[in-house]
Amino acid sequence: MNWFWKKNDQENEIIIDEMSPMQAVTHLCACIQLSDGDADYEERVAWVNAISTLFPDYSQDRAEIFLNEAHSYINHISKDEILIYTEKLLFRIKAVLSDDQLNQLGPKLAKLIEADGIVMTSEIELANLIEKILSISITIDPNL
């Protein structure tokens, strides 16, 4: 399925600068989902909700391909590489999403982080990075 994303043969990395907006957001969501080591059903539902809100005309099949590719890629890189990868994704997202989409993204990511009922330190670290780079607010329920 290489027509959706390319790997740099020398570094075996995905070329983020060529990602579509939906692909970049899906990869970001996958980073959040897998930051605690597991992606569960509730997180998947939160991802679908985010994608369908941000990209109302999205193709479910295409979105599933992006999510599967993201999970496959992220599962094969280290935690340090995930942070670097996430940062690069955020700059891509900042470049390709409208201000309205960025404003909608914060609450959707908060729902994704809270979806499994437990907020892990790794998720908070990603939320802080997202807020810093995208200049958006991610309000997480302090009782979780």
8 Å CB contact between 74 and 30: yes
Asked whether residue 12 is assigned to any structural domain, the reply reads no
Number of domains in the chain: 1
| pLDDT of 36 | 82
Asked whether residue 90 is assigned to any structural domain, the reply reads yes
Asked whether residue 144 is assigned to any structural domain, the reply reads no
Q: Which domain holds residue 116?
A: 20-134
| pLDDT tens digits, 40-93 | 999 999 999 999 999 999 999 999 999 999 999 999 999 899 999 999 999 999
C-alpha distances out from residue 54 to 2, 32, 36, 40, Å: 24, 17, 24, 21
8 Å CB contact between 14 and 65: no
Asked whether residue 92 is assigned to any structural domain, the reply reads yes
| pLDDT of 13 | 55
Domain CATH for 50: 1.10.3680
Rounded Cα distance, 106 and 137, in Å = 6
Asked whether residue 26 is assigned to any structural domain, the reply reads yes
Asked whether residue 106 is assigned to any structural domain, the reply reads yes
Instruction: Report, as an integer, the average pLDDT of 3-14.
Output: 47
